[in-house]
Amino acid sequence: MMFQTFLIKTNDSDSMLVSLVGALLFIVSICLWAFKVGDAISLSCTLLGIVLVIIGIVGGNGRSLYEVDQQRIIKIEMDRIVVGTEAFEFNKIDSLEFHYHSFLNQSSLGYFTETAGAIEHGINNVVNFKLGDRKVSERFFISSIQHADKFFSTLKVLKENGIQYNLSFRKYR
């Protein structure tokens, strides 16, 4: 049995940076309004912040801060874990930890419903381990409830084969 999925990457586009600068400028403008620094300066910072956020959103085509990396894959196999192009044998790694957060479209309440208001994106699942002095930490994507089941089934087989790991879950409301 093997589990395979895409890794998560930070959106490092220039438009994301423009949006973040705009948001920061908007927050600074709120402080300027609160301390009555000057109406012209406060208004300028507010408007410039809003414009930068809009430019960043439009320029980034609505992309978020984190996104699925279609080029990098993580594979959990019976004797090793493959992260991108690197393979790590289980007998050589220490402190293997998995954190399950959610799958795509899972309710934020922790269970799956068709009519759930808030949904999760399945991108906050994490694997951590040490290889000597090197620490490896990667976020990965779980696409569906069936994909989550495959993940947990793979972990169960690892445990049956004597692979030690810690598994944690997010706290639901």
Q: How far is CA 54 from the centre of its chain?
A: 23
CB 129 within 8 A of CB 93: yes
Nearest in space to 52 (alpha carbons), one of 80, 26, 90, 85: 26
State pTM to two decimals: 0.71
Pairwise CA distance, residues 115 & 124, whole Å: 22
- Domain borders along the chain are 3-8+66-169, 11-59
Pairwise CA distance, residues 84 & 6, whole Å: 9
Pairwise CA distance, residues 154 & 111, whole Å: 21
Q: Does domain 3-8+66-169 have CATH number 2.30.29?
A: yes
User: Tens place of pLDDT for every residue, the chain, 173 residues?
Assistant: 699 998 988 777 777 778 888 999 999 988 888 887 788 888 888 999 999 888 887 776 666 667 778 889 999 999 999 999 999 999 999 899 999 998 887 766 655 555 555 667 788 899 999 998 999 999 999 999 899 999 999 999 999 999 999 999 987 65
DSSP assignment of 13-46: -HHHHHHHHHHHHHHHHHHHHHTT--HHHHHHHH
